[in-house]
Amino acid sequence: MSKLILERLSAQFGDAVLETSTAFGDDVAVVTRAAWRGAAEFIKTDPQCLCDYFVDLSCVDRCDPNVDDLDMDDRFEVYVIAYSLKHKHRVRLKTRVSGASPTLPTLTSVWAGADWMEREAFDMFGVRFVGHPDLRRILMYDEFEGHPLRKDYPANRAQPLVPYREGTFDKLGPFLQDEGMPLNRSVTLDDRVDEH
Amino acid sequence: MGDVEHETRVLGGGESGFVTTRFDALLNWARKYSLFQYPFVTACCGMEFMAAASPRYDLARFGAEAPRFSPRQADVLWVVGTISQRQAPALRRVYEQMTEPKWVIAFGTCASCGGFYDNYATVPGIDKIVPVDVMIPGCPPRPEAVLDGLMLLQHKIGVGDRTPVTLKNTQLPDGADEHLDRLHQIRLK
C-alpha cells in the first residue's frame, strides 16, 4: 500500500501528525487531540483519500495500574478505522487523551456510523465525546458504576441487578473434577485439589 | 411392610384386578411424564438444545416435547446459555411468572456456574438468581448428557426431591475403551 494518505495528512497537518506507520497493509497515523476532528474530516473528504466508509471506532487503555499514573496524559488511545469504497484503501487514525480528563470531539458529524461506537467507547472506557447527540451507556445498565474495560476496574467485580440468593454454590462449585479447568483466578490449583 | 410378598403379573382376558398407590405418588408420576418446557435460550448451547429436542435424540420420548412460549404454561424452565447481569432481572421475572409446581434445569457450564466467564458482565451460575433442580455441565453438554439430566429431573420429581443436583459424568461400560480404541485405529487406516 502506498503511503499516499500519510503523505497527504502530513502535508495538511504538519506537526499535528505525531507518528505514521504501516501495519498489515494499512496506513496508521497518530494525530494530536486538537487535530482529531479535522484529520477525520480530511481523510473523508479529500479526493485522493475519500475514506467515506466508517468501519470501527474504539479505545485502548494504555496504562498499567501497578506502575503508571492513572491520570497520565496519553492513557487512552482512541482509534477510528475508515475505508474508501472508491480507492479501496483503509486507514487507521489514532489519538491519545489523558486519564484525568478523557474528552474528545465527536465524529458523528463526519460519519453518522460513529454514533454507537462512541457510545461503546464511553460505556467501556469513560471517554466523553463532546457534541455527541446521545452519549449514554450502550451495553451496560444505567445502574453500573465505573467503566469495566479500564485497567483499574477490578477484573472480577460484578454489580448484580438482582440480589444473589442465600446459600448458593460457590463459583467453583461442583465442576472442578469434571471440567478440569480453574474457574476463578483467585484460587490456585492446589486449593482446588484440597477442597475435594 | 417389609415381609409382604409382592406379585406382579399381567391380567388375562376376563380377569379383573386393582392397584393401590398413594395419591401424591400418582400425581408425581403423572407430572414427571408430562413436562411442558420453557426454553430460555441465550447462547451457543441453544444449538445443542435444538439437537437434543429434534428427532434424532427426541425429548418427546420422555413426555417433554411440548415447548410453551409463555412461562405461565410451563413446568420446566430450561436456562440454556450464558446469563449476563443485565439479563438477570428478565430471568427472575420469567421464573416468577411460572405456576407451581415448577422446576429449573441449568443447561451447560455457563448457566450452571458462569463457566470461564469470571468478570463484570456474567452471572456466576443461575442458582444465584433462581433455585435450580438439575445442573448439566458441559460446554456444550452432549445430547446424551441432556437426556441424562432430564431423566434425573424425572426421578427427582418422582421421589419429591428438591435439592440441587449436578449431573455427574456417566461411566463408560466395561470394555468400551478397547472398543473406542479399535474404532480409532480403523479410522486411522
Q: pLDDT by residue (tens digit) across B13-68?
A: 777 777 777 788 888 888 889 899 999 999 899 999 988 888 888 888 888 878 88
Query: In this complex, is the C-beta atom of A169 within 8 Å of any C-beta atom belonging to chain B?
Result: yes
Residue of B144, B168, B164, B143 whose CA lies nearest to B153 = B164
Cβ-defined contact of B85 to A141 (cutoff 8 Å): yes
- Can you give the pLDDT at residue B161? 85
Distance from the Cα of B99 to chain A's closest Cα (Å) equals 20
Average pLDDT of chain B, as a whole number: 86
**Best mutation site among A152, A168, A170, A192 for testing chain B: the one with the most B CBs within 10 Å?**
A168
Task: Answer yes or no: are the C-beta atoms of A143 and A166 closer than 8 Å.
Answer: no
**What is the chain B residue with the closest CA to A149?**
B120
Task: Answer yes or no: are the C-beta atoms of B112 and A179 closer than 8 Å.
Answer: no
Cβ-defined contact of B118 to A160 (cutoff 8 Å): no
User: Which cell goes with B129?
Assistant: 438468581
Question: Which of A161, A172, A173 shows the shortest C-beta gap to B89?
Answer: A161
Continuous H helices in chain B = 23-32, 45-53, 88-97, 109-113, 143-159, 176-188
Q: For every one of its 196 residues, what pLDDT tens digit does chain A have, with 9 covering 90 and above? A: 567 888 888 888 888 888 888 888 888 999 999 999 999 999 999 888 899 999 999 999 998 888 888 888 889 999 999 999 998 889 999 999 999 989 999 999 999 999 999 999 999 999 999 999 999 999 999 999 999 999 888 877 888 898 888 766 655 444 444 444 444 444 444 444 444 4
- What pTM value is reported for the model? 0.78
Using alpha carbons only, give the angle B134, B62, B65 rounded to the nearest 5 degrees: 95
- Can you give the pLDDT at residue A179? 46
Query: In this complex, is the C-beta atom of B168 within 8 Å of any C-beta atom belonging to chain A?
Result: yes
For B40, list phi and psi in degrees, rounded to 5: -100, 85
- All residues of chain B having their beta carbon less than 8 Å from the beta carbon of residue A161 are 85-86, 88-89
Which residues in chain B land under pLDDT 50? 1
Distance from the Cα of B98 to chain A's closest Cα (Å) equals 18
Looking at the DSSP assignment, which residues form a beta bridge with residue A154? none
- Can you give the pLDDT at residue B4? 64
- Can you give the pLDDT at residue A169? 60
User: Cα dihedral sign for A174, A176, A178, A182?
Assistant: positive
- All residues of chain B having their beta carbon less than 8 Å from the beta carbon of residue A156 are 118-120
A160 burial (CB, 10 Å; 0-12 / 13-18 / 19+) is middle
